[in-house]
Amino acid sequence: MIQMKFKTSKELEAHRSAVLKAQDPKRKWISFCVGTGCIASGAEKVAAAMKLELKKNGPKGVQFKETGCPGFCERGPLMVIHPEGIFYQNVKPEHVHDIVSRTLKKGEIIKELLYIDPSSGKQVTNEKDVPFYSKQKRLILGNNPLVDPTNIDDYMAVGGYTALGKVLSEMKPEQVIEEVKKAGLRGRGGAGFPTGVKWETTRNAKGAVKYIVCNADEGDPGAFMNRSVLEGNPHSVLEGMIIGAFAIGANEGFVYCRNEYPLAVKNVTLAVQQLRDVGLLGKNILGSGFNFDMSVVRGAGAFVCGEETALMASIEGKKGVPKQRPPFPSQEGIWGKPTNINNVETWANVPFIINMGAEAYARIGNKTSKGTKIFALVGKIKNTGLVEVPMGTTLKEIIYEIGGGIPNGKKLKAVQCGGPSGGCIAAANIDVPVDYEGLKQYGAIMGSGGMVVMDEDTCMVDVAKYFLKFLLEESCGKCTTCREGIERMLEIVTRMSEGKACLDDIALLEELANVVKDTTMCGLGNTAPNPVLTTLRFFRDEYIAHAKDKKCPAKVCKALISFNIDEKKCTGCGACAKRCPQSAISGENKRPHKIDQKKCIKCGVCESTCKFGAVSRR
Amino acid sequence: MEDMALVRKHELPGAPADIDERVDAILNRYSGERRWLINILFDIQAEFRYLPRDALEYVARRMAIPQVDIYGIATFYKAFSLTPRGKHIITACLGTACHVRGSIGVLEELQRGLNVKPGGTTEDGSFTLETVNCLGCCAQGPMVVVDQEYHGQMTPAKVRTLLEDERKK
């Protein structure tokens, strides 16, 4: 690690050369993901076992690097052995002995650990040949598996802080803003406002004190790209922020990170300290005369704090309640001072724009949306994980070519884009190019990039109910129409799911949704009806089935279904009867069992216990 | 919803009387500015496993912030609890990805097994059941976390086994 403070960008470059010189490109090293997703699959135990095994039996000089998330969470824990690029997935502690003795020492490939491409059925040895990766363009995420997030030298080895050095030694603030404008960068967190224009407004705002903020309050359920970047490569975000602060003329910054992401908070806090130690934060950075420092602020579990004015109130140590705009944060933000706020992914794009040049950057993407975007592809999809593609890639390509399609031979029904503020895009419309404008025509938004895939077993009324419940809890309560309107909408949808609604309820629901949309103050309220409006638009027949026929076509809404045992499939093993909390299942040993519908509470324990698929919903 | 009544630390059986000193130690880590209030509340909760009324009153006095503001923050943000939490925290993720894979059934089974509602603590004080809107481990959903340990691909049947195992510990 670095022991010095860099006084000029030349010193910084000299250090980078030294770091790179010490790295033999042919050296053997292991990249192992310890991001939250892989930790959830048991990565910590594997890492501990691997380190022990390397110490005991390993060949000398093999570096074991614990990195951030490469994105293929579905197959975690993930390991790549370099320089060959051998890709092992689903690695367990019992595999580490073989990995060391066979692969590291003898160069043998362990077939059981290889990924099998579900579409071709073939084993894939090399990471770069995995279709999930090979069809992406991994500008931001690409460095995650190369970098130990706790080691600033690792980030420097992949070109980190080159852009900052260039900006501080060669560019004027106005030139930086011009570059970002020319690149066409737009906000990656919500409405897609042009970043350069926002920076310029804050720069031109009156006042000597200005702030910048990184919005890492990634509250959209089903979205985790910001977590992954912040915990896997925090320096990439911080570099973008320092460049932005220089361009805007801010001397203090904040990273506002969600409390549910403990590893991200830890890694970004450490990175900030490292930057102070090497003089990239503090007074007179790289001899440029520019002063800047920042602190990490933890959120405390409030979705509305992703809204910029609420977030800023939270930074001030208050309740996160949104304020009326204008004045916009760029005029009056934190403590009344001009404040520029961008999200994690937006900041992380900045160093690339400086390094590549605006023109090269603007060649990625399409006419109105430039660069790449990371999506969290989750739900009913074969390859769950983070996907980074050029803007304008079609939803179909993302779902089928990268995501591998829908598991268990089911049919795609819809893709929910943009979190609770977004909407559901029906399967018939998946040729839509995924960019800011493309998604809007179907009532959805890009948001932070959550993509929840839904198959035929997903009930759209239930999805609407889910989001309304979520929003009811998260509404701050300031605007009456949001506070009360969401609750009334939830009542109607709940009636539908219980078979107690009538056809008129659909029209009432639609009317209410439009009122909430038109009469609330902040982004949360304005967009709260989107899940209802988009499902009403594209899946009206399902609402009608619930309201008129009292049926749930997807067999999800409990009041409208029953659990039954198929006599032909039931082996009479009695496993379900033993587990049933209501003792509602009876039958003789080795004879088909039956469910007493009067006792059944439809908890689904029998369905998930049965190994023969004999329990079904009707 | 969580019970909004505040519990004083000294109302609990066997509670130590050193509450002011312990809160002092936390306050001394920060400058007296309002901006640190949320961090301070986090630290107090880590210390006592909830926000005791006495501690909040003490913070209000020392930081010269109205008690109502502190109460407002403590009830606005989900991360804070005004009642003592259990020894173990069981968190069910209700994110969208977990939802479409059946997290409701998982949560209901947890409620039945523990006989508490979300936010509630079992009578013996062993477990508190909480929910979270997304942990970002969507690939392994439905997800249940017991203290720091993640359990993925949960089903109602697996919940029963999980609770049996946790009770044995």
Q: Which two tokens stand for residue A157?
A: 């080895």
A450 and A464 share one domain: no
A449 and A466 share one domain: no
Longest Cα separation, chain B: 52
Enumerate the H helices of chain B as residue ranges. 19-27, 37-48, 53-63, 67-76, 96-100, 103-114, 156-168
Q: Which residue of B has its CA nearest to A416?
A: B96
A247 burial (CB, 10 Å; 0-12 / 13-18 / 19+) is: buried
Is residue B7 over pLDDT 80? Answer: no
B133 touches chain A (CB under 8 A): yes
Residues of B in contact with A228 (CB under 8 A): 136
A510 and A410 share one domain: no
Inter-chain residue contact A260 with B109, CB threshold 8 Å = no
Examine residue B1 and state whether it is found in any structural domain, yes or no: no
Inter-chain residue contact B137 with A317, CB threshold 8 Å = no
- Examine the fold and report which residue of B37, B52, B76 is the final residue of a domain before the chain moves on: B76
Inter-chain residue contact A40 with B150, CB threshold 8 Å = yes
B64 and B93 share one domain: no
Q: Which two tokens stand for residue B168?
A: 């044995």
Q: Which of A33, A78, A92, A318 is the best substitution to test chain B (most B C-beta atoms within 10 A)?
A: A318
Q: What is the pTM of this model?
A: 0.93
A54 and A192 share one domain: no
A171 and A284 share one domain: yes
- Cα A491 from Cα A381, distance rounded (Å): 31
Q: Which residue of A has its CA nearest to B160?
A: A579
Choose among B94, B104, B105, B120: nearest CA to B157. B105
Of B39, B152, B157, the CB nearest to A609: B157
Query: B7 near B81, Cβ under 8 Å?
Result: no
Residues of B in contact with A608 (CB under 8 A): 105, 155-158
- Cα A42 from Cα A361, distance rounded (Å): 38
Q: What's the pLDDT tens digit per position in B115-167? A: 999 999 999 999 999 999 888 888 888 999 999 888 999 999 999 999 999 99
Q: What range defines the domain where residue B143 resides?
A: 88-168
B99 and B161 share one domain: yes
Residue that has been written with the tokens 């069992």 in this structure: A593
Q: Are strands A252-257 and A211-216 parallel, antiparallel or unpaired?
A: parallel
Of B35, B79, B108, the CB nearest to A317: B35
- Cα A273 from Cα A280, distance rounded (Å): 10
B42 and B98 share one domain: no
A435 and A401 share one domain: yes
A206 and A120 share one domain: no
- Nearest CA distance, A316 vs chain B (angstrom): 5
Examine residue A510 and state whether it is found in any structural domain, yes or no: yes
A181 and A285 share one domain: yes
Q: Which two tokens stand for residue A37?
A: 């997703």
Choose among A176, A172, A167: nearest CA to A280. A167
Q: Which residue of B has its CA nearest to A313?
A: B35
- Nearest CA distance, B59 vs chain A (angstrom): 13
- Examine the fold and report which residue of A547, A579, A595 is the final residue of a domain before the chain moves on: A547
Inter-chain residue contact B156 with A298, CB threshold 8 Å = no
Q: What's the pLDDT tens digit per position in A444-466? A: 888 889 999 999 999 999 999 99
Inter-chain residue contact B138 with A218, CB threshold 8 Å = no
Residue that has been written with the tokens 């027949």 in this structure: A541
Residues of B in contact with A298 (CB under 8 A): 38-39, 42
Q: Which of B100, B143, B155 is the best substitution to test chain A (most A C-beta atoms within 10 A)?
A: B100
- Examine the fold and report which residue of A80, A115, A133 is the final residue of a domain before the chain moves on: A133
What CATH code is carried by the domain that includes residue A411?
3.10.20.600
Q: Are strands A86-88 and A115-116 parallel, antiparallel or unpaired?
A: unpaired
- Cα A576 from Cα A435, distance rounded (Å): 47
Is residue B13 over pLDDT 60? Answer: no
Q: Which two tokens stand for residue A451?
A: 């993509």
Q: Mean of the pLDDT values across residues B69-74? A: 95
What count of CB pairs under 8 Å joins A to B? 155
What CATH code is carried by the domain that includes residue A186?
3.40.50.11540
A541 burial (CB, 10 Å; 0-12 / 13-18 / 19+) is: exposed
- Examine the fold and report which residue of B76, B110, B125 is the final residue of a domain before the chain moves on: B76
Average pLDDT score over chain A: 94
Choose among A273, A234, A240: nearest CA to A1. A273
Examine residue A180 and state whether it is found in any structural domain, yes or no: yes
A472 touches chain B (CB under 8 A): no
Residues 62-81 of B with CB under 8 A from A: 69, 72-73, 76-80
B94 and B68 share one domain: no
What CATH code is carried by the domain that includes residue A63?
3.40.30.10
A191 and A261 share one domain: yes
Q: What range defines the domain where residue A35 resides?
A: 27-133
A123 and A202 share one domain: no
A226 and A294 share one domain: yes
* ipTM (interface predicted TM): 0.89
B163 and B93 share one domain: yes
Examine residue B125 and state whether it is found in any structural domain, yes or no: yes
Listed in sequence order, the residues at least 6 apart from A392 whose beta carbon sits closer than 8 Å to its beta carbon are A365, A366, A369, A433, A434, A435, A438
Q: Which two tokens stand for residue B17?
A: 């009387």
Number of compact structural domains in chain A: 5
What CATH code is carried by the domain that includes residue B111?
3.40.30.10
Q: Which residue of A has its CA nearest to B141?
A: A379
Examine residue B53 and state whether it is found in any structural domain, yes or no: yes
Residues 450-469 of A with CB under 8 A from B: 450, 452, 454, 458, 463, 466-467
- Phi–psi pair at A147, nearest 5 degrees: -120, 130
Examine residue A6 and state whether it is found in any structural domain, yes or no: no
B96 and B67 share one domain: no
Q: What averages of pLDDT result for each successive group of 10 residues across chain A (618 residues)?
A: 84 95 91 92 95 93 94 92 95 96 95 90 92 93 96 96 97 98 93 94 96 95 93 97 98 95 94 97 97 95 93 96 94 97 97 97 95 95 94 96 94 94 94 94 89 95 95 94 97 97 97 96 92 96 97 95 95 93 93 95 92 94
- Examine the fold and report which residue of A339, A361, A383 is the final residue of a domain before the chain moves on: A361
Examine residue A38 and state whether it is found in any structural domain, yes or no: yes
A315 and A230 share one domain: yes
Of A260, A301, A319, the CB nearest to B135: A260
A564 touches chain B (CB under 8 A): no
Examine residue A5 and state whether it is found in any structural domain, yes or no: no
Choose among B7, B96, B21, B93: nearest CA to B52. B7
Is residue B2 over pLDDT 50? Answer: no
Examine residue A129 and state whether it is found in any structural domain, yes or no: yes
Inter-chain residue contact B132 with A260, CB threshold 8 Å = yes
Number of compact structural domains in chain B: 2
Examine residue A483 and state whether it is found in any structural domain, yes or no: yes
DSSP code at position A473: H
Residues of A in contact with B139 (CB under 8 A): 37, 73-74, 76, 378, 384-385
B136 and B158 share one domain: yes
Inter-chain residue contact B134 with A219, CB threshold 8 Å = yes
A404 touches chain B (CB under 8 A): no
Query: A117 near A381, Cβ under 8 Å?
Result: no
Beta strands in A532-575 (DSSP E): 563-565
Examine residue A21 and state whether it is found in any structural domain, yes or no: no
Peptide bond into B156 cis (omega under 30): no
Residues 8-27 of B with CB under 8 A from A: none
B30 touches chain A (CB under 8 A): no
- Examine the fold and report which residue of B30, B51, B76 is the final residue of a domain before the chain moves on: B76
Q: Are strands A450-455 and A372-379 parallel, antiparallel or unpaired?
A: parallel
Listed in sequence order, the residues at least 6 apart from B54 whose beta carbon sits closer than 8 Å to its beta carbon are B8, B9, B10, B19, B20
Examine residue B44 and state whether it is found in any structural domain, yes or no: yes
- Phi–psi pair at A249, nearest 5 degrees: 90, 35
Choose among A536, A401, A493, A395: nearest CA to A453. A395
Q: Mean of the pLDDT values across residues B6-28? A: 77
B46 and B97 share one domain: no
End-to-end CA distance of chain B: 29
Examine residue B149 and state whether it is found in any structural domain, yes or no: yes
Inter-chain residue contact A379 with B96, CB threshold 8 Å = yes
Q: Are strands A63-67 and A29-33 parallel, antiparallel or unpaired?
A: parallel
B68 and B15 share one domain: yes
- Cα B8 from Cα A522, distance rounded (Å): 37
Residues of B in contact with A320 (CB under 8 A): 76-77
B138 touches chain A (CB under 8 A): yes
Single-letter amino acid code for the residue at B160: R
Of A73, A302, A416, the CB nearest to B77: A302
Listed in sequence order, the residues at least 6 apart from B70 whose beta carbon sits closer than 8 Å to its beta carbon are B37, B41, B56, B59, B60
Inter-chain residue contact B134 with A37, CB threshold 8 Å = no
Coil/strand/helix, residue A295: strand
